[in-house]
Amino acid sequence: MKAKKISVEEFDRRFDDGEDISEHLDWSTARRLHGGKREGAGRKSSGRHPYTIRLKPQIHAKFQQRARKKGISLSEYIEELVKD
């Protein structure tokens, strides 16, 4: 289906007014630029679970400093602290 041509100003006005503008779009050439859930897409799972805690700034700084000194991430450092 060929899109009906109108001025940019008219298109913007109709869009802003919440009118149906689909007749002014050529859907045959449309393509998705971002996202969409696809099998195997995105970052691979690490098997880890996100967890949020609140620490005093000086405690957080100590954890970061100690992790940096060992050359590991903060998450890895905390995991070492709680391992059996």
Is residue 76 situated within a structural domain? Answer: yes
8 in any annotated domain: yes
Q: How confident is the model at residue 79 (pLDDT cuts 50, 70, 90)?
A: very high
Q: Is residue 7 part of a domain?
A: yes
pLDDT digits (tens, 9 = 90+) for 26-66: 878 877 777 667 777 777 888 888 889 999 999 999 999 99
Does the predicted model carry a pTM greater than 0.75? no
In a domain, 46, yes or no: no
How many domains does the chain contain in total? 2
Question: At CA 76, angle to CA 55 and CA 41, rounded to 5?
Answer: 105
Residue 36 within a domain: no
- Which whole number is the average pLDDT over 58-82? 95
- What sign for the dihedral angle of Cα 75, 80, 82, 84? positive
Q: Is 84 part of a structural domain of the chain?
A: yes
Provide the pLDDT confidence category of residue 1 given band limits of 50, 70 and 90.
low
In a domain, 38, yes or no: no
Range of the domain at 22: 1-29
Please, what is the angle between helix 74-82 and helix 57-70, to 10°? 90
- Is 47 among the domain residues? no
